[in-house]
């Protein structure tokens, strides 16, 4: 009887040893997924951020819309508006504000406000004064104006009350690695 039970016993041990090995492997896989999953996601996020940063840097290096000086960029912006080319005008802004300004300028165009906007920009350009900056890759121009009566202005989709009186404003430019100046704040 031991001869017959011995092959059955061996078969039984083989079967259960395979089950045991599969259970251990499943445990290892589950442990790896639980413990290494967050690390793997973090690594993937860092990798994606690095790729995105390189693409952004490339876009900054290849952007050729703008002048050799902040004043030249501002004049090019005004010239594009005078021609009614809001797409070109929006390209004189820093990359992350171009789409927002394209939409705003299209709105001005639809409401026939571009001409008034250009007149206002030219007045600003005539009276602005360059401020000292510590960074050679940025330039700020300040100007003052007097508002005769209270008025409402659109600020990021909200109506904002601007009180009558003396106001100060700035236009800020940023120099790109491509050596062109872009409008950062208007």
SS3 185: strand
pLDDT above 90 for 79: yes
22 and 80 inside one domain: no
47 and 104 inside one domain: no
- Summarised one tens digit per residue, pLDDT across range 118-142 is 998 998 888 888 888 788 899 999 8
13 and 83 inside one domain: no
According to the model, what pLDDT value does residue 4 have? 59
pLDDT above 80 for 104: yes
DSSP-assigned states of every residue in 118-180: HHHHHHHHHH-EEEP-S-TTEEEEEEEEEESS-EEEEETTEEEEE-SEEEEEEEEEEE-TTS-
Domains in the chain: how many in total? 2
pLDDT above 60 for 19: yes
13 and 41 inside one domain: yes
* E strand or H helix that includes residue 183: strand 181-185
Query: Which of 11, 29, 62 is a domain's end point?
Result: 62
- Supply the pTM of this predicted model: 0.66
108 and 166 inside one domain: yes
90 and 174 inside one domain: yes
Domain that holds residue 30: 1-62
């Amino acid at each position: 009887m031991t001869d017959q039970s011995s092959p059955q016993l061996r078969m039984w041990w083989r079967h259960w040893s395979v089950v045991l090995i599969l259970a251990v492997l499943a445990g290892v896989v589950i442990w790896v997924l639980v413990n290494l999953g967050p690390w793997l996601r973090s690594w993937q996020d860092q990798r994606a951020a690095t790729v995105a940063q390189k693409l952004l840097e490339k876009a900054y290096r290849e952007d050729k819309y703008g002048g050799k000086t902040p004043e030249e960029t501002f004049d090019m912006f005004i010239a594009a508006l005078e021609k009614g080319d809001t797409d070109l005008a929006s390209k004189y802004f820093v990359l992350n504000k171009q789409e927002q300004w394209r939409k705003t300028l299209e709105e001005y165009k639809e409401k026939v406000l571009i001409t008034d906007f250009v007149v206002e920009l030219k007045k600003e350009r005539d009276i602005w004064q360059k401020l000292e900056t510590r960074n050679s890759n940025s330039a700020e121009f300040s100007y003052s104006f007097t508002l005769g009566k209270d008025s409402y202005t659109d600020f990021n989709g909200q109506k904002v009350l601007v009180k009558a009186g003396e106001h100060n404003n700035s236009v800020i430019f940023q120099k790109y690695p491509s050596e062109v100046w872009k409008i950062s704040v208007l």
